[in-house]
Chain A
Amino acid sequence: MSDISESVAGELWGREGFREDPYIAAETLEETGDAPAVILPLAAWLGLDESVRNATNRKIGVSVAPGESIDPLLPLLDTIPLIALQFPAFNDGRSYSKADILKNQNHFKGELRAVGDVLIDQVAYMLRTGFDTMKVTHAVTLTRLAEHNLHDAPGYYQPGRGSHTVPGAYSWRRVPGGA
């Protein structure tokens, strides 16, 4: 079990599987040298000059803690390449609501990433609320993801990403697949 999880530790997971993470996380832009893709904490990101934020030669994503509000980001979504929502503990569910607000309500086009303590049983929920990628620390989760074992349900009782309606079914129900 640990062999698999070690081989993919530190990698980024998406629906297509594991891959290298092009971003590096840092506290300030200064300490990142000329790295082409950087993730900064919300306060640091908001403190950047607009011209730096919108520079075309590098991507600067923003990381948001569960207790932080995403409201300041909403008017700027078109310019943000990546938003990373933190899960310091698996049972703090605030970022699920934020994911839905960002992706479904405000149509954020950039990458939405879950970072932290993610249990395997939560991955399917995260994909449905709008997350694109996951950077996971939990060894069991990494192993199961590597085995493509998502613990998903055959049908859902709510709308969500990655699902579609079935003609004639109740309006709130969905089945997996499609956008």
Chain B
Amino acid sequence: MYRYDEFDHAFVSARVEQFKDQVERRLAGELTEEQFRPLRLMNGVYLQLHAYMLRVAIPYGTLSGRQMHKLAHIARRYDRGYGHFTTRQNIQYNWPALSDMPAVLDELASVEMHALQTSGNCIRNVTADHFAGAAADEVADPRPYAEILRQWSSMHPEFSYLPRKFKIAVTGADRDRAAIQVHDIGLHLKKNEAGELGFAVYIGGGQGRTPMVAKKIRDFLPIEDLLTYTTAIVRVYNLHGRRDNKYKARIKILVHETGTEEITRQVEAEWQAIKDTDLKMPQQDVDAIDNYFRMPDLPQRPEGWSQLAISRKADPSFARWVDQNVTPHKNPDYGVVTISLKPIGGIPGDATDAQMDLVADIAEKFSNDEIRVSHEQNLVLPHVAIADLRIVYDLLLTDGLATANAGLITDIIACPGLDYCALANARSIPVAQRISERFGQPERQADIGELKIKISGCINACGHHHVGHIGILGVEKKGEELYQISLGGSGDEICTIGDITGRGFSSEEIVDAVETIVDRYLLVRTDKEETFLATYRRLGAAPFKDALYNETANAA
């Protein structure tokens, strides 16, 4: 993985020193909260419902054991013993004191981390496929390009006061695990017919109150043009994106109002003017960054296969975990392990300091010292030998980290909601917990199969409900929390925005409503192979609406 050089260290230290000065001035009363606001936001410090919140960047979700130990230490020393992994592959601390923030940033800097550009109208933390560099189906590792974009976008003088926040995601596999089509820029790393690497470029995707699937504006962009082309896109957006209404300020609205053809023309025209400038990347620089992300030397471990067969037969729980949470690795002797942060009835994405330390220890020993954070709020051990799966499983089991539900109905994404967030209209976490308890029985989950539930506590859609197979949006109506359901959303390579079923459900009704939908699915699917999403795409909303509203009407 990428390591800071002197340049990076000096850059981050200077920012921490600057922020220390600003916090001191705020605490001394020299800065008002209003004056302090833009300064703290540049350093990832939000003011939430109950306290200041710190959002730490985990670039493209990649961490070392040492970094994860540091996150655990921060949770223990400066927070209440836990942290919350987010849908942007970041971690949030909900309870640090403002006076401790500079110390926390110092601690982060000591392990090559920071909280820069985790808020504000700038280019945010660049995300990537959480299986990058390990997945068997990958064309090329997207992280070198995410790292180049991270560097280039850091404190960018032209792009730090954009109309609104700006999110870039990169994937290197045809199976899109990074949801690139709901990002401001989505990059799909692929090979052309000549076998050269390049990107398909998508712009204008996003969720929030106006969900839109991104438009492809270029089918193949050579690697050397990554930074010039991105500059052209962001420049067109900076100049022409709407600034009169913050809800219409994202690039998706500009793309929609301008038209894909015209905006493509503008981007291409701007690019022609700058494509041969200093930002055109020499291959040697790309190679140097790429070198940091080379596949580690993984020893052959063929003995794992026979051991696995024996362990599986002896322990059905272990077998279920392997089936659900281990995905194929480029090296057949290895697997990619998803560590579920969705224990039945738990809070999605939360991890205690002890859990973080445990994951760090396991990674150091059994995953080439690498950990990933997924946008689905789970952790990933990218390089685990099949021969070590049993011991890794046993270790995870000691602290509730071996839930075998990756991709299943209880692997729920939920935003922090009204329990923490100043913007929320409704609670998300308790709804996620109750759904998880309702469907938590292992055989039942396995029978239902792949089903992604995503819950947002307000229209800003941090819980990605628009792309949930079942999406739940909390709204406030006459002082009551009400939950709207949408169906058929998907954030993968066939990206769709879910359809709203109809009137919403109360907090008491919502779990029953989800169960009604699931029961109807089980009834109408062709067989166990047909997933919920496939069934929905075949039959549309009608059978589910019928189940939801007719039954509810009868019951009432």
Contact = CB atoms under 8 A, between A and B. Distances in A.
A100 B151 contact: no
Contacts of B151: 157, 170, 172-173
Nearest to B148: A172
Contacts of A157: 11, 151-156
A154 B161 contact: no
Interface stretch (A2-10, A20-28, A54-62, A124-132): A124-132
Interface string B148-170: 10011111111111110000000
Interface string A150-178: 01011111111000000001111100000
Nearest to A174: B278
Given A97-B239, A153-B15, A157-B152, A169 B160 contact: no
Given A153-B14, A154-B14, A159-B279, A172 B161 contact: no
Contact of B39 (A91, A93, A121, A173): A121
A170 B156 contact: no
A65 to B, nearest CB: 12
A113 interface: no
Contacts of A105: 273-274
Contacts of A66: 243
Contacts, number: 100
Contact of A98 (B153, B239, B278, B282): B239
A93 B159 contact: yes
B278 A171 contact: yes
Given A151-B18, A153-B155, A159 B238 contact: no
B235 interface: yes
B387 interface: no
A96 B154 CA distance: 16
A93 B18 contact: no
Given A170-B151, A172-B151, A97 B278 contact: no
Contacts of A122: 160-161
Nearest to B279: A172
A92 interface: yes
Interface of B: 7, 10-11, 14-15, 18, 35, 38-39, 42, 121, 148, 151-163, 227, 235, 238-239, 243, 273-274, 277-282, 285, 288-289
Interface of A: 66, 90-94, 96-100, 105, 119, 121-122, 124-126, 128-129, 140, 151, 153-160, 169-173
23 contacts: A66-B243, A92-B243, A93-B158, A93-B159, A93-B163, A96-B158, A96-B160, A97-B235, A97-B239, A105-B274, A124-B157, A125-B160, A129-B158, A154-B14, A155-B7, A155-B11, A157-B11, A157-B152, A157-B154, A157-B156, A159-B277, A172-B151, A172-B281
